[in-house]
Structure 1
Amino acid sequence: MMLKPISGVAMTLIGLSTSLMYPNLAIAEEIACQGSLGAITVDNVKVPQGKTCTLNRTTVKGNIVIERGATLKAIGAKVNGNIQGEGANLVDVNSGATVGGSIQVKQGRAARVVSTRITGDVQFESNSGQMIANQNQIGGNLQAFQNTGGVTIRKNRINGNLQCKENAPQPIGGGNIVQGSKEDQCAKL
């Protein structure tokens, strides 16, 4: 029997039968961002190696992955998932952005997280450039480990712990309100 599409009815039936057979199946698209995205909604974002992506008031339903040597500028963006950069050139999240998960920047160059609300953790690990966390609301922990380009932590509200270890030079800053404990190099911040 041959189905003829009548105003999209055949595609709707196929979609309905697929969702009945696989009720937990989620189809998410990944955007390879090179350039700028404005006030639109996308599923997941990948910033390809060596490229720059600017998200200006963009809503990301899922996660953002920043590849080696790439740059992310998230200005007032809403990210429901995580932001993760390994080997990234720059991760810059600011101007009232919200992140429903965590921000992790590892073995990269630099990061700047300013005036952002993060539900999970912020983690800076083994980066070679300047790491900045200023005026954020962090639902989990802020952790800075083994960074060599300098770490500045100022005026953050942290519901978890503030942990800093093996950074050279030692982190600077102050005015942080921490619900948990301030540990190691961050004990005085």
Structure 2
Amino acid sequence: MRRRTTIVTAAMLAASGFAFAAPASADLDTRCIGTAGAVTVPGDLFVPAGRSCDLTGTTIQGDVRVQAGADLLITGGTIEGAVTVQQDGYFDAVETAVGGAVTLRAGFGAYLESSEFAGNVRSVTVDGAAVEGFLISDGSAVGGNLDARTGDLFAESSTVGGNLIADGTVYADVFDVVVEGNLTVRNGNEYGSVVCGSEVYGNGTFSANTGALQIGAATPLAECDATSYWNRSVTVTGNTGGVTIDQNIIRNNLTATGNDPVAAVGSDNRVRGEIIGDTTPLRGSMTGVRALRATADRDAAALADAETRRTDAEAAAAQAGPAAL
């Protein structure tokens, strides 16, 4: 990865609204194995392949690299630069502020709880990677895009300042999330997608998905008693896993074309514009009970994977002892 100069990093952080100081030395590159507390790392930090680093209250004034198979846990800390996670690496941030982008490159996963991210948070695949991974945002604020291009996406009680994108993911579940830009779910999602109790101030687009889509509604994939709000249009096209649309306020048009089966639209929608395309009235189905159980299981499984990896990383870091930061 090309390392940033001090000038570029400071400018990007200032543009993101982070009033961080510039690194004392951009040439410093600190290795982290083990545990550390409320210290300041004046340059970049990296976790070597296969090793674990557990930080509490630590400030990192540069970029962070989590190498292949490595783990970085940070609680109550600050990362002024960007975070890059390589294949099968794991990033766990709780009550932490990150000034740059977070990028998972076929990582095992990222668990982001009650944290703030000034830039984009993105998961991508790489050629030949065996790991699809997960991206979990729980009560976090993402200033840029939340963008998943592989694996599982689960966002809950979070805010996204840019766009929320699930493109080629295994599934995408969005509960109680505010999206200032567009929300897009497309090209895959074989295990389906749920959008429940959320606010989207751009457009909503659901296209070319093979799994079931639940846009609002109370079934079939998840229990949802909260209305979703769409400030612009919602477009649902070319999906083959079934679509249910209910309990939504859509300020512009609802367009549903080329879906097989035809999209089912419930009576609890309020569409301020037009309903365009082919739809059918939403009716209850017992198949939803099975789908509901599967959805609860998959979200729980992603959280369990994060908990297991975190626990293993904590143990490995503790065994390694204090990190030489």
TM-score by length of 2: 0.47
Once residues 194 and 109 of structure 2 are traced to their aligned partners in structure 1, the CA distance between those partners, rounded to angstroms, is 23
Aligned twin of 2:118: 119
**CA RMSD across the alignment:** 1.9
The SS at the match of 2:154 is: strand
Letter of the 1:101 counterpart: G
Counterpart of 1:178? 179
In the TM superposition, what is the alpha-carbon distance from 1:104 to its structure 2 partner? 0.9
Q: Tell me, in whole angstroms, the C-alpha distance in 2 between the residues paired with 1:89 and 1:27.
A: 24
Decide whether the 8 Å contact of 1:141 with 1:158 is kept in 2. Answer: yes
Counterpart mapping for 1:102-117 below 5 A: 102-117=101-116
2:164 corresponding residue in structure 1: 162
Q: Which has the higher helix share?
A: 2
- Is residue 33 from structure 1 mapped to residue 32 from structure 2 by the alignment? yes
Query: Aligned-pair distance for 1:179?
Result: 0.6
| Matched residue SS, 2:181 | coil
Structure 1 residue ranges without an equivalent (≥5): 1-25
Q: CA deviation at 1:135?
A: 0.9
Report if the CA contact (8 A) 1:66-1:86 is conserved.
Answer: yes
Alpha-carbon distance change, 157 to 29 in structure 1, aligned in 2, over 3 angstroms? same
Partners of 2:111 and 2:180 lie apart in 1 by 23
Q: Larger Rg: 1 or 2?
A: 2
**Residue 187 of structure 1: how far off its partner (Å):** 8.3
**Shift of residue 27, structure 1, vs aligned partner:** 4.3
Runs of at least 5 residues in structure 2 that lack an aligned partner in the other structure: 1-24, 126-130, 187-192, 197-325
Percent identity reads 25
- Contact map agreement 1:71 1:88 (CA 8 A) in 2: no
CA contact (8 A) 1:106 1:124 kept: yes
The verdict on how the C-alpha distance between 1:45 and 1:88 changes in structure 2, with shifts beyond 3 A counting, is farther
Per the alignment, do residues 88 and 32 of structure 1 end up closer, same or farther by CA in structure 2, a change over 3 Å counting?
farther
Alignment of 1:147-158 (within 5 A): 147=151, 150-158=152-160
Report the equivalent of 2:148. 144
- Residue of structure 2 equivalent to 1:85: 85
Q: Which runs of 4+ in 1 moved over 4 A?
A: none
- Distance in 1 between residues matched to 2:180 and 2:153, nearest whole Å: 21
How far off its partner does 1:152 sit? 1.0
1:11 alignment partner in structure 2: none
Distance (Å, rounded) in 1 between the aligned partners of 2:59 and 2:164: 28
Q: Mark the CA change 1:48 to 1:157 in structure 2 (over 3 Å): closer, same or farther.
A: same
The CA deviation string for residues 94-149 of structure 1, in whole angstroms up to 9 with x for no partner, is 1x1000111111112122111110000111223523331111111110001121xx
Alpha-carbon separation, structure 1, partners of 2:124 and 2:32:
25
What TM-score do you get using the length of structure 1 for normalisation?
Answer: 0.79
CA distance in 2 between partners of 1:139 and 1:91 (Å): 18
Check the 8 A contact 1:182/1:188 in 2, yes or no: no
Q: In 1, are the aligned partners of 2:26 and 2:44 still within 8 Å (CA)?
A: no
The CA deviation string for residues 13-58 of structure 1, in whole angstroms up to 9 with x for no partner, is xxxxxxxxxxxxx543111100012100002110000000011110
Cα distance in structure 2, aligned partners of 1:38 and 1:177: 33
Secondary structure of the residue aligned to 2:195 is: coil
How many equivalent residue pairs?
161
Report what 1:19 is aligned to. Answer: none
Q: Which amino acid aligns with 2:153?
A: V
Aligned partners of 1:106 and 1:134: how far apart in 2? 21
Displacement of 1:176: 0.6
